[in-house]
Structure 1
Amino acid sequence: MIKEELKLKEALIIEGGNKLKGVLEVSGAKNAALPNMAATLLTDEEVVIDNIPDLLDIETMKNLLNTIGVQINHIKDKAYSFKLNEVKSLKAPYELVSKMRASILVLGPMLAKFGYAEVSLPGGCSIGTRPVDLHLKALEKMGAEITIEHGYIKASAPKGLKGAHIFFDKITVTGTENIMMAATLAEGKTIIENAALEPEVVDLAVMLRKMGANIKGEGTHRIEIEGVKSLKGTYHRVIPDRIEAGTFAVLSALTGGNIVIKNYPSHYLEYVNEVLENIGIHIVKISESEVVVKRDDILKPVNIETREYPLFPTDLQAQFMTLLCFANGVSEITENI
Structure 2
Amino acid sequence: MDSILVTGNGPLNGQIPIAGAKNACLTLMPATLLSEEPLTLTNAPRLSDIKTMTALLQSLGAEVSALQDGQVIAMSSHSLTSHVADYDIVRKMRASNLVLGPLLARFGQAVVSLPGGCAIGARPMDLHVEGLEALGAEIELKDGYLHAKALGGLKGAVHEMRFASVGATENIVMAATLAKGTTVLKNAAREPEIVDLVECLRKMGAQISGEGSPTIEIQGVDRLHGATHQVVTDRIELGTYMLAPAMCGGEVELLGGRMSLVEAFAAKLDAAGVSVSETQSGLKVSRKNGRVSAVDVVTEPFPGFPTDLQAQMMALMCTADGVSVLEERIFENRFMHAPELVRMGANIEVHGGTATVTGVERLKGAPVMATDLRASVSLILAGLAAEGETTVSRVYHLDRGYEHVVRKLEGVGAKIERIKGQ
Q: Verify same fold: TM over 0.5.
A: yes
Stretch deviating more after TM superposition (180-189 or 12-21): 12-21
Alignment partner, residue 255 of structure 2: 262
**What do the CA deviations read for 1:189-231 (whole angstroms, capped 9, x no partner)?**
0010000011111110110001000000001100000000000
> Which amino acid counterpart does residue 172 of structure 2 have in structure 1?
I
Alignment partner, residue 295 of structure 2: 302
Alignment partner, residue 175 of structure 2: 182
Whether 2:4 is the aligned partner of 1:12: answer yes
Q: 1:32 to 1:130 in 2, by over 3 A?
A: closer
What CA distance in whole angstroms lies between the structure 1 residues aligned with 2:138 and 2:123?
18
Whether 2:174 is the aligned partner of 1:170: answer no
Contact 1:253–1:295 (Cα < 8 Å) also in 2: no
Q: 1:66 to 1:271 in 2, by over 3 A?
A: same
Alignment partner, residue 86 of structure 1: 79
Alignment of 1:208-227 (within 5 A): 208-227=201-220
Alignment partner, residue 364 of structure 2: none
Contact 1:284–1:293 (Cα < 8 Å) also in 2: no
TM-score (norm 2): 0.75
Whether 2:273 is the aligned partner of 1:280: answer yes
Contact 1:280–1:299 (Cα < 8 Å) also in 2: yes
Stretch deviating more after TM superposition (242-251 or 322-331): 322-331
Q: How far did residue 333 of structure 1 move?
A: 0.8
> Which amino acid counterpart does residue 266 of structure 1 have in structure 2?
M
Stretch deviating more after TM superposition (75-84 or 164-173): 75-84
Contact 2:246–2:285 (Cα < 8 Å) also in 1: no
Alignment partner, residue 234 of structure 1: 227
Whether 2:274 is the aligned partner of 1:244: answer no
Q: 1:251 to 1:114 in 2, by over 3 A?
A: same
Q: How far did residue 156 of structure 1 move?
A: 1.0
What CA distance in whole angstroms lies between the structure 2 residues aligned with 1:234 and 1:329?
51
> Which amino acid counterpart does residue 86 of structure 2 have in structure 1?
P
**What do the CA deviations read for 1:23-73 (whole angstroms, capped 9, x no partner)?**
211111111111100101101111110111111111110000011111112
> Which amino acid counterpart does residue 309 of structure 1 have in structure 2?
F
Aligned counterpart for 1:43 among listed residues 25, 31, 35:
35
Aligned counterpart for 2:324 among listed residues 310, 324, 331:
331
Stretch deviating more after TM superposition (187-196 or 264-273): 264-273
Q: 1:71 to 1:123 in 2, by over 3 A?
A: closer
Unaligned runs of at least 5 residues, structure 2: 331-422
Q: How far did residue 10 of structure 1 move?
A: 2.1
What CA distance in whole angstroms lies between the structure 1 residues aligned with 2:116 and 2:258?
34
Contact 1:301–1:324 (Cα < 8 Å) also in 2: yes
What CA distance in whole angstroms lies between the structure 1 residues aligned with 2:270 and 2:216?
33
Instruction: Report percent identity of matched pairs.
Output: 45
Number of residue pairs the alignment of both structures matches: 325
Cα RMSD, aligned residues only? 1.5
Whether 2:112 is the aligned partner of 1:119: answer yes
Stretch deviating more after TM superposition (240-249 or 293-302): 293-302
Aligned counterpart for 2:309 among listed residues 308, 312, 316:
316
SS in 2 for 1:81: strand
Contact 2:91–2:115 (Cα < 8 Å) also in 1: yes
SS in 1 for 2:4: coil
Which contiguous aligned blocks of 4+ residues in structure 1 show a shift greater than 3 angstroms?
none
Alignment of 1:69-80 (within 5 A): 69-77=61-69, 78-80=71-73
